[in-house]
Amino acid sequence: MDEDAAATALSGRDGTPAKQRRTGGRSARVRVRVLEAAGALLLEAGYDALTVDAVAERAGVHRTTVYRRWGDVGRLLADLLDAAADDGWDPPDTGSLEGDLTALNEEVHTALAAGGPTLTTALIAAGFRSPAAAAALSRFWEDRYARCAVTVSRAVARGELAAPVDARALLVTATAPLYHELLLLRTGPDPGLPARAAAAAAAAARAGAFGGAARAAHP
């Protein structure tokens, strides 16, 4: 999820690597340059072509700097994902559960249906090749679902749902159709999919599928 929801932290809306937040200090600046280079090379050439030497050359730093700090490509990608989680992203607040889920799904759809490889999909693929990247990818999604849990607590506060509600299960149900259709089945972009998936998940939540039935006062 900016997956631009979750996924624009990993890639820009045009599918190019997002710029990491720049902080002070030479070490921090080197980290930014190296991670930007790693993301760009992964997007351009894929995991198999990604090497520490190529990243160092692209970043304009000595190869020993990269080896000393990261050691290998897997740790580089793990740091890239960990940096993506430090982006200040928050889920949208539209005033309703279904609206919030739709807005999240639209961000996911934008990232996954960008019309070509994106850093998001490249990092997901890399997670199958590198244990370090896989662990970092899991941390990234755990962080995203934790941030998005507020959409469920807001729905409870508005009276749309009755507590307790399994927020993670609801959010996975809402977003899963997009990943299944666009990543696994590789169907073309479907502008109506985000709203349909959100409506189905919201209806299931109101029916109590995730632990809390809708309050009687709510239509």
Q: Report angle CA 52, 134, 48 to the nearest 5 degrees.
A: 40
pLDDT for residue 24: 56
pLDDT for residue 117: 72
What is d(CA 100, CA 202) in angstroms, rounded to the nearest whole number? 10
- 127 or 12: which leads in pLDDT: 127
pLDDT for residue 213: 52
- 188 or 191: which leads in pLDDT: 191
Each residue's pLDDT tens digit, 54-82: 999 999 999 999 999 999 999 999 998 88
Confirm whether pTM is higher than 0.85. no
What is d(CA 207, CA 53) in angstroms, rounded to the nearest whole number? 55
Question: Which of 17-21, 111-115, 145-149 is most confident?
Answer: 145-149
pLDDT for residue 1: 41
- Quick one: what percent of the chain has pLDDT higher than 90? 60
With a cut of 90, say whether residue 5 has pLDDT above it. Answer: no
What is d(CA 44, CA 37) in angstroms, rounded to the nearest whole number? 10
